[in-house]
Amino acid sequence: MKVAPPKLLEARWLDSARLTAGLDRHQRLDLAAHTRVHLPLHQPGRDGLLALAEAVGLSGRGGAGFPFARKARATLAIADRMGAPPVIVVNGAEGEPASAKDKLLLARAPHLVLDGACLAAAAFGAEEIVIGVAAGSPGEISVPAALAERELPCPARTICLPDRFVSGESGALVRGINGLPVVPAPLKARAADGGTGGVRRRPTLLSNAETWAQLAVAARLGPDSYAAVGTAAEPGTVLLTVNRPGADPLVVEVPTGTLLDPVLNACGIQPGAGVLVGGYHGAWLHPSDAIAAPLSRAGLAALGGTLGAGAIVALPDATCPLGEIAQVAAWLAAESAGQCGPCKRGLPDAADALAVLAAGAAEPAVLENVRCALGSAQGGGACSHPDGTARFLLTALDVFSEDVDAHLSGPGCGRPVQGVLPLPPAKGARLEVDWSRCTGHGLCAVLAPDLIRLGPHGYPTSTTIPVAPWQEHGARRAVNQCPALAVRLQHRV
């Protein structure tokens, strides 16, 4: 089956090319190229595969870092008890705008990901393999083409999910596979347990695309060779997405524990005003801490950071940090599923307060409003979205504290917002307020309190407001009942 070449995402490596092997010579590794680049793959069996994953300390690479062997054992224990074969799920729904590593793997090295999933499917007697990809991503074409090229231990299929931030949450992915809305489940349920948390109520072993590729690499190398690079606690390599201002991101493979400074240097980037590690659920580091930060979960945790999905952004000195942060905060608030209080109230409140702070000359109480809204958002969400967003924003307030002071005491830092922090093109719906018509009735804020905030004089604080799908009903009520006809709902494609 011929496949159109996917958009080329550039891969680099420091020291060892394992996941990225062959990508310097091939735009995409079809099965023939894949078998030339990588060693033959042997099936270790159920106990052998579990022992291998445990020996190399394989953990999830989608952000949470949960031990793979422990998750697999839990899934198999339920499967044995139920007498039902498990389902293997590959999570390639990369909705994080700052991350491209899974897109690269699925587009350019799909067979390495499928190797890991097929190893588990054969060893664990799986009923099915399901690969979730973002609609419109290169994996939508590349993965089905790879499936058609190879023998499979069980039926396998690809499912395309909406290209949204929450689509990559494990519960949202399982719901999408089951034909339900692709949002996190209102009640938390583990995929391993089957029932409402699993695919077709089967025990489900779900891991990130890079995790499955790492399993295939470990099976080829064995525990000792796999641990020849990396740290003793976290052996092997890790994929990073290094975002560059005005250019496409680079996906870089490095041994775990590599310092951040040589990675930035290899990509031609300076630490600038601060470095974000872990993406939009990650944490900001001060430049002096960032250059010596070891790229491992333990090393970054010691600095108050998190490796997350390995997305890295260095913020240049020439852009306004608070303006950049405020734009991402508004996007994250609109990307929520709107199913719990922290997402419906906490994140929009924090985004609104940050927008006021970024505009300059804000009252000191605005900063407290941000911290209060984020504090209330932590710990009570239906998924990790509120906690991750709070970490991203709270660490930004600490790292850019001088800029916060400048925006509180005067018109601001004086720098433009260059849009360095990557965000997808604006799409979906937005509310627009025509201030030439608005007479300050305030009815819109009553009808759509999750969208519209009023300033001290009774007028909306923003003229353009992103509308999430779960907010459209309230938005339409505000438009239809505005006495001054000052509110419009616009849809962007």
Please list, in sequence order, all residues whose beta carbon lies within 8 angstroms of the beta carbon of residue 3, skipping any fewer than 6 positions away.
28, 30, 141, 142, 145
Asked if the model's pLDDT at residue 493 lies above 70, the reply is no
Residue extent(s) of CATH 3.30.70.20 domains in the chain: 426-493
Q: What is the dihedral of CA 331, 335, 340, 346, to 10 degrees?
A: 0
Closest CA relative to residue 218, chosen from 346, 9, 39: 39
Residue extent(s) of CATH 1.20.1440.230 domains in the chain: 318-424
| Predicted confidence (pLDDT) per residue in 32-78, tens digit | 999 999 999 988 999 999 999 999 999 988 877 789 999 999 999 99
Distance CA 386, CA 34 (A): 40
275's torsion region: left (phi>0), alpha (psi -120 to 50) or beta?
beta
Q: What is the pLDDT of residue 147?
A: 97
Q: What is the pLDDT of residue 399?
A: 95
DSSP conformation class of 167: G
Distance CA 63, CA 339 (A): 22
**Residues paired with residue 253 on neighbouring β-strands, in sequence order:** 13, 239
DSSP conformation class of 278: S
Asked if 293 and 260 touch (Cβ cutoff 8 Å), the reply is: yes
**Residues paired with residue 158 on neighbouring β-strands, in sequence order:** 131
Of residues 366 and 103, the one with the higher pLDDT is 103
The CATH number for 318-424, chosen from 3.40.50.300, 1.20.1440.230, 2.30.42.10, 3.30.43.10, is 1.20.1440.230
Asked if the model's pLDDT at residue 4 lies above 70, the reply is no
Q: What is the pLDDT of residue 346?
A: 76
Closest CA relative to residue 388, chosen from 297, 305, 316, 490: 305
Residue with tokens 């740290």: 231
The CATH number for 237-315, chosen from 3.40.50.2000, 3.80.30.20, 3.40.718.10, 3.10.20.600, is 3.10.20.600
What H or E segment, with its residue span, contains residue 276? Answer: strand 274-277
Asked if the model's pLDDT at residue 392 lies above 90, the reply is yes
Residue extent(s) of CATH 3.40.50.11540 domains in the chain: 20-226
Q: Judge: domain 426-493, CATH 3.30.70.20.
A: yes
Residue extent(s) of CATH 3.10.20.600 domains in the chain: 237-315
| Predicted confidence (pLDDT) per residue in 145-190, tens digit | 999 999 999 999 999 998 888 888 888 899 999 999 888 877 778 8
Q: What are 170-177's contacts with CB under 8 Å, separation 24+?
A: 170/91, 170/206, 171/197, 171/383, 172/337, 172/383, 173/89, 173/91, 173/93, 173/132, 173/206, 174/89, 174/198, 174/199, 174/204, 174/206, 176/132, 177/89, 177/130, 177/132
Q: Identify the band that residue 6 occupies on the pLDDT scale cut at 50, 70 and 90.
A: very low
Q: What is the pLDDT of residue 379?
A: 67
Across the chain, what does the average pLDDT equal?
Answer: 89
Asked if 374 and 397 touch (Cβ cutoff 8 Å), the reply is: no
Class of domain 20-226: alpha beta
Q: What is the pLDDT of residue 333?
A: 86
